[in-house]
Structure formats: C-alpha cells, structure tokens
Amino acid sequence: MKVVDLFCGAGGFSTGAMMAGCRVIWAANHWQLAVMTHSANHPETAHVCQDLHQANWLNIPDHDLLLASPACQGHSRARGKDRPHHDACRSTAWAVVSCAEVKRPRFILVENVPEFFHWKLFKVWKEALKQLGYRINENVFNAVNFGVPQDRARAFIFCSLDQEHCLKSSFKPFRPASEIVDFSVGRWSPINKPGRAEATLKQIQNGRIIHGERFLVAYYGNERNGRSLSKPIGTITTRDRFAIVDKDRMRMLSVSEAKRAMGFPDDYKLPQNKRLAMHFLGNAVCPPVAADLIAQIKTLAKQSF
C-alpha cells in the first residue's frame, strides 16, 4: 500500500505505516529540521519542505492512503487564550481537503487532539470531505490500549471512498511507566537543593506518602501527588514535563525514555538538542497505534470496492 504523510514531523505516523508493511512514498513539512529528521529515518521516502497551504497537489504521487496530522496547537487545551495564530494552525486541516480533491486517495487517516472535534469549522470540514465522496468514521483512541505505556488520547478520523468502515481500538494489557525508566543512567540531582520550587517539593512530599521511594513528578499540569510508576505515564507533550524521583535524588525523563514512552524504536534518530527532540516526540503519533490502525486499513483495502 502506498502512503503519503502530510505534516510528517519527525515521523511517528510514517514509522507506524512502515511497521504495518506500507511504503511511505512522499512526506512533507514546512520545517527544514522536521524534514531532515524524517529523512534520516525514512531515506526511501521523497521529501518536500514546504508550507502545505501552498502545495501543488498535482506534483505529489498517487497513493492509496493519505496520512495527515495537521497542526494541533490551535485546538489543544494547552494553548491558553485563543489568538490569531491559532486560526492559522487550525487552517492547516484544509490541506487534507485540497489534497483529497486533487488526488482522491481511497483512504485518509487524520490524527489530532480530541479537541479537533470541537473546532467551529469541524462540521464544515467534514462536510467538504463528504462532498468529495468520503465516508467518515470518527474515533478517539488511547495509546494505553495499543501496548504503549502512555495515557494519550487522540482523535483519529478515518475517511474512505468505499462504504463506511469503522476502525477499532486494540485492547492490549496496560504497560507501566516503570518499563521505560532506567534508574542506572542519567544526571541525577539531590531533591533538596537550593532553588527547587515549593510546588515541586510539595508534590514529592505527597508522592512519597502515596507511592513510596520511586515515582514520577509532573510539571505544567494538575498533578499534586506525583504519579505511580506502576501506571502508564501521562501524556508526553512538546514540553519536557516529567521527572523521576528515586529516594533523595531526581532527574528529568531522558529522550530515550520519552522515545520508549511513545513506542518509537530505540535507534530512532532525533536531534541532539533535548528541547527539539522532546518537541518532535510530543507532537508525534505513537507508531504502535498508527501501525495497528493502518494494518486494519490494509485488511479493508483487500476487500473489493
């Protein structure tokens, strides 16, 4: 099955497609570093660095499955007050419609945050795809059910030129965050050091009572009591937000650990700069989730039109 990946980022969606046995023939992003990172991991794919609002869809190859993760910052609850650049982010979703109008791939799979369904133009966007002949199947799937040790709910909108098909969640056993943490590595620092924020110390104090000596601390959220390592980790975002507590020491989650939390292969190449690597990981589709859903689409594709 030939696949095209719009807004390819570092390549979570594409990696899932490869895991499902597909060929990712074309991928695009407007950020050179994203294209370079994607290309380092997917050398067989043709890459284009461009603003997809400006794309000439006649130049992209025919494909069976269009993957797209339009920019989610405009929808995400984490965005804070709504601002004009959020409208610009949200408008990236229209690239899916214009590509579909020109290329008419048999299947389209769009990923975004669940708030995408509350976009004031969502119904119109969906109607535009319907006018092009697509049947639409809307889902929210959580990566925890796909064998990924992370609580990550995402919208997956499946469009098909056949009759309406439904994608299904997997129901694999939950995997604990303890599986991704390596206590023998990393730069640890003492918990009681000058400058540690009061709120962090309070969270650690509460966490100790509930979880014992080892647990996770989450920044930028509502976590007050730390988080057990026996549960999946919370959502990995573009900000470095989880720390690991081990007795009297602590450190931030490493890039390797975040990669495992997302279900990327250990040898997946990311920028050396931690902030950039975490940005790409936090934006990505979990490859095992993508692989499962795309495998379902491959099975549907074998059925006749």
Q: Out of 22, 34, 261, 262, which residue is the one contacting ligand SAM (CB under 6 A)?
A: 34
Verify binding: residue 156, ligand SAM, rule CB under 6 A.
no
Verify binding: residue 53, ligand SAM, rule CB under 6 A.
yes
**Hey, which residues between 231 and 260 contact ligand SAM (CB under 6 A)?**
none
- Angstrom distance (rounded) from CA 305 to CA 239: 44
Q: Out of 3, 9, 74, 167, which residue is the one contacting ligand SAM (CB under 6 A)?
A: 9
| Residue 96 vs 233, nearer CB to ligand SAM | 96
- Angstrom distance (rounded) from CA 168 to CA 152: 16
Stretch that binds ligand SAM, among 46-54, 124-132, 136-144, 219-227 (CB under 6 A): 46-54
| Residue 4 vs 284, nearer CB to ligand SAM | 284
Stretch that binds ligand SAM, among 2-10, 98-106, 136-144, 173-181 (CB under 6 A): 2-10
| Residue 71 vs 191, nearer CB to ligand SAM | 71
Verify binding: residue 284, ligand SAM, rule CB under 6 A.
yes
Cα–Cα distances (Å) from 248 to 197, 209, 245, in that order, read 16, 14, 7
| Residue 226 vs 263, nearer CB to ligand SAM | 263
Residue located via tokens 């599986």: 179
- Angstrom distance (rounded) from CA 98 to CA 68: 12
Q: Out of 3, 13, 114, 159, which residue is the one contacting ligand SAM (CB under 6 A)?
A: 13
Output the smallest distance, CB 144 to ligand SAM, in A: 18
| Residue 121 vs 208, nearer CB to ligand SAM | 121
Verify binding: residue 17, ligand SAM, rule CB under 6 A.
no
Stretch that binds ligand SAM, among 10-18, 177-185, 210-218, 264-272 (CB under 6 A): 10-18
Contact flags string 74-113 toward ligand SAM, x per CB under 6 A: ------------------x---------------------
Binding footprint of ligand SAM, residue count (CB under 6 A): 21
| Residue 2 vs 251, nearer CB to ligand SAM | 2
Output the smallest distance, CB 20 to ligand SAM, in A: 14
Output the smallest distance, CB 199 to ligand SAM, in A: 29
- Angstrom distance (rounded) from CA 209 to CA 228: 11
- Angstrom distance (rounded) from CA 30 to CA 282: 18
What residues line the site for ligand SAM (CB under 6 A)?
7-13, 29-31, 34, 51-53, 69, 71-72, 92, 283-285
